[in-house]
């Protein structure tokens, strides 16, 4: 049996909280809470144009609208993370056919709460990871951190070819709600961001999924203050410049360049996993890459069903590719996460099927064709 000897991003696991706020509820809240706002009509139009149908949040909306203080918010972040992350991690390990002791590095990304020691230490102590497991918490790349985590996992598996990396993205954007922030950008953010936990394993050997072949990063000069946090006594205040939607024009060439360096054409790839920062981001990038809107269907679905879930977006979009049944072996694709800086984290990869899983599927197909499969057809093989 021949195993692929390159890093492979396996099927992610995703979880969203049980509390839901619909687009209609968001608009009604904006009208009631900000009834006298001079730019309310503009804010409502921008929120409607996001295309977000619903979002999931870790607290009921009545609690979310309150501000008990930065300490209480961060304590809630830690308790929710510890309650919700382990189950998602367990499913991600199962998806990769690995155990906790097989993991050599944990990359934990989040921009919506702070812990020190990081959640990586808590996971090692709680879930049976080895005590020599390396830790890489990333907290300041915002929405780009999902792409960065995939790229750093790729780098690690390149340095240590038989290593396995666990990626965890934990974002509770609703805990960053600031009732006193009344700028149009803040009001738009209140209707755009959602909460989610995602995890995935990058295997150095074997695995079905996206075999990572190249990665890169690009920063748009002099855009540091376009997406930012102002850290105050009340916590993280999200700053969003009105020029952010225009960033795809300078970023698209970076995507073309990276693909070209690998001998690929960024306009003719088989699949695209793009950060769903908003509909204009996706529409503009389609235009600058000269691809059809359908090419970004996974990212659009994430935005519609969950909103912008920050660093978890790219993992959720990858999960939707798996849900669609994956794609043809050796199909070429791109992953791109965008965030503060303005920064793009870009990866190229090809779809690959683990030989062991392929053999199991072939055997099952053969049994079903001969009518001897019995109850095997009801058993998961991936």
Number of independent structural domains in the chain: 2
Q: Are residues 198 and 304 in the same domain?
A: no
Tens of pLDDT, residues 303-345: 999 999 999 999 999 999 999 999 999 999 999 999 999 999 9
253, two tokens:
């060439």
DSSP state string for 65-79: T----HHHHHHHHHH
DSSP state string for 13-65: EEE--SEEEEHHHHHHHHHHHTTT-TTHHHHHHHHHHT---EEEESS-HHHHT
The answer to whether residue 82 sits within a structural domain is: yes
Q: Are residues 228 and 243 in the same domain?
A: yes
The answer to whether residue 377 sits within a structural domain is: no
pLDDT band at 245 (very low <50, low <70, confident <90, very high): confident
Contact between 121 and 135 (Cβ < 8 Å): yes
The answer to whether residue 89 sits within a structural domain is: yes
pLDDT band at 373 (very low <50, low <70, confident <90, very high): very low
Using CA atoms of 356, 357, 359, 361 in order, give the dihedral in degrees to the nearest 10.
Answer: 170
Q: Are residues 215 and 330 in the same domain?
A: yes
- 313 Cβ neighbours under 8 A, 6+ residues apart: 143, 146, 275, 276, 277, 299, 302, 303, 337
Instruction: Evaluate if residue 368 carries a pLDDT over 70.
Output: no
> 203, 219, 249: which is the final residue of a domain?
203
Q: How far, in Å, CA of 28 to CA of 373, rounded?
A: 54
Q: Are residues 101 and 243 in the same domain?
A: no
Q: Are residues 167 and 281 in the same domain?
A: no
| Helix%, strand%, coil% for the chain, nearest 5 | 45, 25, 30
Q: Are residues 255 and 199 in the same domain?
A: no
DSSP state string for 152-221: HHHHHHHHSTT-EEEEEEEEEGGGG--TT--SHHHHHHHTTB-EEEEEEEEESS--SEEEEEEEEEEEEE
At residue 366, the pLDDT reads 59
Catalytic residue numbers read 143
> 170, 203, 236: which is the final residue of a domain?
203
pLDDT band at 5 (very low <50, low <70, confident <90, very high): low
pTM of this structure:
0.90
Q: Are residues 49 and 160 in the same domain?
A: yes
> 171, 203, 235: which is the final residue of a domain?
203
Instruction: Evaluate if residue 363 carries a pLDDT over 90.
Output: no
The answer to whether residue 365 sits within a structural domain is: no
Tens of pLDDT, residues 126-173: 999 999 999 999 999 999 999 999 999 999 999 999 999 999 999 999
Q: Are residues 232 and 338 in the same domain?
A: yes
**Residue 152: which CATH number?**
3.40.47.10
Q: Are residues 14 and 160 in the same domain?
A: yes
Which residues on adjacent β-strands are paired with residue 169? 109, 198
Q: What pairing do the DSSP bridges indicate for beta strands 332-339 and 271-274?
A: parallel
At residue 371, the pLDDT reads 57
Tens of pLDDT, residues 144-155: 999 999 999 999
Tens of pLDDT, residues 14-51: 999 999 999 999 999 889 888 889 998 998 998 888 98
pLDDT band at 355 (very low <50, low <70, confident <90, very high): low
Q: How far, in Å, CA of 221 to CA of 216, rounded?
A: 16
Q: How far, in Å, CA of 91 to CA of 103, rounded?
A: 14
At residue 339, the pLDDT reads 93
Contact between 351 and 210 (Cβ < 8 Å): yes
Instruction: Evaluate if residue 241 carries a pLDDT over 70.
Output: yes
pLDDT band at 191 (very low <50, low <70, confident <90, very high): confident
At residue 181, the pLDDT reads 85
At residue 375, the pLDDT reads 41
Instruction: Evaluate if residue 71 carries a pLDDT over 90.
Output: yes
Q: Are residues 25 and 136 in the same domain?
A: yes
Place of tokens 């870009």: 346
The answer to whether residue 169 sits within a structural domain is: yes
Based on its alpha-carbon atoms, the radius of gyration of the chain, rounded to whole angstroms, reads: 21
Q: How far, in Å, CA of 240 to CA of 314, rounded?
A: 20
* Residue 73: domain span: 8-203
The answer to whether residue 366 sits within a structural domain is: no
- Segment 289-315 mean pLDDT: 96
The answer to whether residue 53 sits within a structural domain is: yes
pLDDT band at 2 (very low <50, low <70, confident <90, very high): very low
Cis-peptide into 309, omega within 30 deg: no
At residue 381, the pLDDT reads 27
Query: For the chain, how many residues are written?
Result: 382
Q: Are residues 75 and 217 in the same domain?
A: no
The answer to whether residue 360 sits within a structural domain is: no
Q: Are residues 218 and 165 in the same domain?
A: no
Contact between 308 and 111 (Cβ < 8 Å): no
């Amino acid at each position: 049996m021949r195993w692929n000897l390159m890093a492979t991003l396996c099927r992610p696991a995703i979880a969203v909280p049980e509390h839901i706020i619909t687009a209609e509820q968001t608009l009604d809240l904006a009208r009631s809470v900000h009834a006298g706002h001079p730019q309310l009509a503009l804010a409502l139009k921008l929120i409607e144009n996001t295309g977000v149908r619903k979002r999931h949040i870790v607290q009921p909306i009545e609690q979310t609208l309150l501000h008990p203080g930065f300490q209480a918010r961060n304590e809630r972040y830690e308790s929710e993370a510890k309650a919700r992350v382990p189950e998602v991690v367990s499913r991600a390990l199962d998806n990769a056919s690995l155990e906790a002791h097989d993991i050599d590095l944990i990359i934990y990304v989040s921009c919506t709460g702070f812990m020190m020691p990081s959640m990586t230490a808590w996971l090692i102590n709680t879930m049976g990871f080895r005590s020599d497991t390396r830790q890489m918490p990333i907290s300041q790349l915002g929405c780009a951190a999902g792409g960065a985590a995939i790229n750093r996992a790729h780098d690690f598996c390149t340095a240590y070819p038989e290593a396995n990396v666990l990626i965890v993205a934990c974002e509770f954007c609703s805990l960053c709600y600031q009732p006193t922030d009344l700028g149009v950008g803040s009001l738009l953010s209140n209707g755009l961001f959602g909460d989610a936990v995602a995890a995935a394993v990058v295997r150095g050997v074997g695995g079905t999924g996206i075999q990572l072949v190249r990665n890169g990063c690009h920063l748009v000069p002099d855009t540091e203050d376009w997406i930012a946090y102002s850290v105050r006594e009340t916590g993280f205040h999200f700053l969003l410049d009105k020029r952010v939607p225009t960033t795809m024009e300078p970023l698209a060439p970076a995507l073309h360049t990276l693909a070209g360096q690998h001998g690929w054409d960024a306009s003719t790839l088989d699949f695209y996993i793009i950060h769903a920062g908003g509909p204009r981001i996706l529409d503009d990038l389609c235009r600058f890459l000269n691809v059809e809107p359908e090419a970004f269907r996974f990212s659009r679905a994430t935005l519609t069903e969950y909103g912008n879930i920050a660093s978890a977006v790219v993992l959720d979009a990858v999960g939707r590719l798996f849900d669609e049944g994956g794609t043809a072996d050796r199909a070429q694709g791109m992953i791109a996460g965008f965030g503060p800086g303005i920064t793009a984290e870009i990866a190229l990869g090809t779809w690959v099927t683990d030989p062991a899983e392929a053999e199991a599927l072939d055997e099952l197909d053969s049994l079903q064709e001969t009518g001897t499969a019995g109850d095997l057809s009801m058993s998961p093989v991936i």
